[in-house]
Amino acid sequence: MRAFTVTSHEASPELVETDRPEPGENQILVKIEACGLNFADLLMIKGTYQETPQLPFVLGMEVAGTVEKLGAGVENFVIGDRIAVFGGQGGLAEYGVYDASRAVKLPDQMDFVNAAAFQVAYGTSHLALDHRAHLKPGETLLVLGAAGGVGLTAVEIGKVMGATVVACARGEEKLAAAKAMGADHLIDASSQDIRAEMKALGGADVVYDPVGGDQFIAAFRACNPEARVLPIGFASGDVPQIKANHLLVKNITVMGLYWGGYLAFNPKALTDSLATLMDWFCEGKIKPHVSHVLPLEQAAEGLDLLAKRKSTGKVVITM
């Protein structure tokens, strides 16, 4: 089979021929149809992600496909089941082996491209806004990086949860994508003062931040009393430092969210969240925004789109 493989943190990944894997106990072999790209893939190439696998490894955190073969002990799936899997790696290949516990069956209404774009982005935003921040109807949600893979889902989910959503992104094209997902107000991070604009709108009750850096600081300063701030990632490359005395003045809570980490200590939170999201999809409340669909041969181009901020929503690679 073909697999897009990282062999060195100092070199670009390459599409190589390798042996098809075999499932072990409680594992399934998946014929992969589509793989969603994530910013974390870029960090893994450099070796800076918190869960970078040992070299060599195949990139691709989330996939959709069909069950090709069952390992011993697998009872919840049959050959031919359409599934999605968050595997953390191995997705940019024609086949992959995964623990059956990480797979979910797809509803008939969901195709493979949408499924590959679904788990990480929607799962992150829903767990952050619902499980962590307890976003309430009528509150004001500020979403930074609002046209990115997770940002757009935060806009969409915020609206489903009844919030007033302020989307912050760079440029008219990206703001248009956020508006199409239901954003009530738009802030252009390339030309407008985030703090001043948010103050004029009454301040933020919840801040969803996959960007970090100066935007985090500006949003933090625009928070209302008892606001909740969610650091999701640091696409700017700048991890902001928070002064504890600033937290207590307005009784602000800062709560981190690493979606994949829940697999280790509270997997039920993930499965419950995904079940809710699948229901919302089937009810037409949410729909993944995929700006680019590329073949496996163009996986490097797909990653470049992420690195250069040229995509909106998700980039999906098909096999």
Question: What pLDDT does residue 149 have?
Answer: 87
Question: What pLDDT does residue 268 have?
Answer: 87
Give the CATH number of domain 121-260; options: 3.30.1330.40, 3.40.50.720, 3.30.365.10, 3.30.360.10: 3.40.50.720
Domain limits of the chain?
A: 2-118+288-318, 121-260
Question: What pLDDT does residue 281 have?
Answer: 96
* Nearest of 163, 127, 78, 67 to residue 274 by alpha carbon: 127
pTM of the complete model: 0.88
Sequence length of the chain is: 319
Distances (CA, A) of 158 to 49, 231, 262: 28, 16, 21
Identical topology for domains 2-118+288-318 and 121-260: no
Question: What pLDDT does residue 299 have?
Answer: 98
Sites in the chain below the pLDDT cut of 70: none
Tokens encoding 19: 């042996």
Bridge partner residues of 82 (DSSP): 66
Sign of the four-CA dihedral 289, 292, 294, 296:
negative
What integer best gives the mean pLDDT of the chain? Answer: 95
User: How many CA atoms within 13 Å lie on the side-chain side of 38?
Assistant: 33
CATH number of 2-118+288-318: 3.90.180.10
Question: What pLDDT does residue 264 have?
Answer: 86
Question: What pLDDT does residue 119 have?
Answer: 92
Question: What pLDDT does residue 50 have?
Answer: 84
